[in-house]
Amino acid sequence: MSEPGVLLRGGRVVDAGGDRIADVLVRDGTVVEVGQKLAATSVETLDAGGCIVAPGLVDLHAHLREPGNEEAETVETGARAAALGGYTAVVAMPNTDPPLDDPAVVGSVIAAGEHAACHVAPAGCITKDRRGHELAPMGELHQLGVRVFTDDGACVESAGVMRRALEYAGSLPGAVVAQHAEDAALAAGGHMHEGAWSSRLGIPGRPAEAETIVVARDVMLAELTGTAVHFLHVSTGAAVALVRDAKARGLPVTAEAAPHHFTLTDAACATFDPAFKVHPPLRTDADVDAIKAGLADGTIDVIATDHAPHRVEAKEAPFEEAPPGMLGLETALALTLTELVEPGVLDLAAALALLSWRPAAIAGLHDHGGPVAPGHPAHLCVIDPAAQWEVDPMRLASRARNTPYVGRKLTGRVRHTMLAGEPVVIDGVAQR
């Protein structure tokens, strides 16, 4: 006996293959039928009228803070926030305490994610303790399923270590080395973008060159080793240009942008509100325009959240003392729809490619990212593109409150999310 199925009724199905109005019938975790006016018995029907039915979103870059900082977030609460944001899979960054440089710690995160509201795929460290010296046991972590390796939060400073990491990753099928491109010495002591606003505010800055120097170097190392490099949270126009150039030369590089880097600028720091502090920092209007152009022309492959929860007290410190980072999982889709799709920077399918099937492919999460077609796993999200809402930090599912979008009015909201055929969000309410 199979369990009762779920029928998503009357939505506009959008995946990498196209766009059509259809019902979607799901049984036993799998899409079994996509078509007009499906009739089925023993099903729960979820209304998708006026909505988009898409492959679940995939976040390449989320900090779930477990183990070590469960006051800010846990795998459970972060996954719930993700599901409410339309995500069916997230890559959990390894800058935890202890870090994910060890098979036992990675195993504990996998176990914590087993009953979570989305699939949690831990990334592994590139170097032991993220110190940039000695390689982590990447082969052992790969055997546990790790595909994304990064010291995120820290840049791999040594070109020699980065080269060895790439050479080793090149022997691990599907592995990708993801760089937090910020030269530590250039960025040292800086709390925001170095420019007109940092001078006016008297806050020490982090120059754009801290990012571009590392991107330029790692493009060369991708060429030297032939191994894929992924650039996390690209924030500058100059880095976008370097990636565009590298791709034109056929080099194996990919890049992501975070919503805050195409929706906010360094001018926001004039409030001295630590909610606007992030690494790499909010940049200029020209950088925002360049990120948008990079998203539109395919230079940037992925929109990733860099969801970075912090304890409320930590973010109540003065700007220069507060830790960097912003929440992202529950606002990324709506920011993309409001700031990129509505103004015509991207069409809907291109936006979903950046949020779902491109990151799924880069992270090796081949069950995710669609297509919405018979025989494929039913990891889906149903989006009401017309729903209007206002960001209220008290109503977010994340354990933390550090969103920079307090009071921002957004259009587009997740209505249902389905993980392996099970509705984990119904009508905007988390079910687990």
Rounded to the nearest 10 degrees, the angle between the axes of helix 159-169 and helix 209-225 is 40
CB 285, min distance to Zn ion, A: 23
By the rule CB under 5 A, 180 interacts with Zn ion: yes
Nearer of residues 48 and 215 to Zn ion, judged by Cβ? 215
Residue 122 · residue 184 · CB < 8 Å: no
Residue of 306, 347, 367, 384 with catalytic role? 306
Nearer of residues 156 and 378 to Zn ion, judged by Cβ? 156
By the rule CB under 5 A, 152 interacts with Zn ion: yes
C-alpha closest to that of 176 among 260, 85, 98, 91: 91
Count of beta carbons in the 10 Å neighbourhood of residue 71: 15
Q: Residue 156: helix, strand or coil by DSSP?
A: coil
Distance, CA of 310 to CA of 403 (rounded, Å): 10
Binding mask 228-257 for Zn ion (x = CB under 5 A): ----x-------------------------
C-alpha closest to that of 400 among 74, 31, 55, 18: 74
- Let me know how long the chain is: 432
CB 183, min distance to Zn ion, A: 13
Binding mask 34-53 for Zn ion (x = CB under 5 A): --------------------
Count of beta carbons in the 10 Å neighbourhood of residue 11: 27
CB 153, min distance to Zn ion, A: 6
Residue showing the smallest CB distance to Zn ion in the complex: 180
Torsional class of 40: left (φ above 0), alpha (ψ -120 to 50), beta (otherwise): beta
Which span sits near Zn ion by CB under 5 A: 148-156, 244-252, 291-299, 324-332? 148-156
Answer yes or no: 306 catalytic: yes
Residue 219 · residue 232 · CB < 8 Å: no
Q: Residue 108: helix, strand or coil by DSSP?
A: helix
By the rule CB under 5 A, 307 interacts with Zn ion: no
By the rule CB under 5 A, 310 interacts with Zn ion: no
Which span sits near Zn ion by CB under 5 A: 123-131, 172-180, 327-335, 374-382? 172-180
Beta-bridge partner residues of 121: 91
Nearer of residues 78 and 377 to Zn ion, judged by Cβ? 78
The beta strands (E) that lie in 157-297 are given as 176-179, 192-193, 205-206, 229-231, 253-257
Nearer of residues 180 and 261 to Zn ion, judged by Cβ? 180
Which long-range contacts link 391-394 to residues 24+ away (Cβ below 8 Å)? 391/331, 393/327
CB 152, min distance to Zn ion, A: 4
Which span sits near Zn ion by CB under 5 A: 80-88, 176-184, 200-208, 363-371? 176-184
By the rule CB under 5 A, 130 interacts with Zn ion: no
By the rule CB under 5 A, 218 interacts with Zn ion: no
Specify the DSSP class assigned to residue 393. Answer: G
Nearer of residues 307 and 376 to Zn ion, judged by Cβ? 307
By the rule CB under 5 A, 59 interacts with Zn ion: no
Q: CA 322, 325, 330, 336 torsion: positive or negative? A: positive
Beta-bridge partner residues of 192: 205
CB 180, min distance to Zn ion, A: 4
Nearer of residues 76 and 183 to Zn ion, judged by Cβ? 183
The tokens for 59 are 């976040």
CB 178, min distance to Zn ion, A: 9
Supply the residues annotated as catalytic: 306
Q: Which residues bind Zn ion (CB under 5 A)?
A: 152, 180, 232
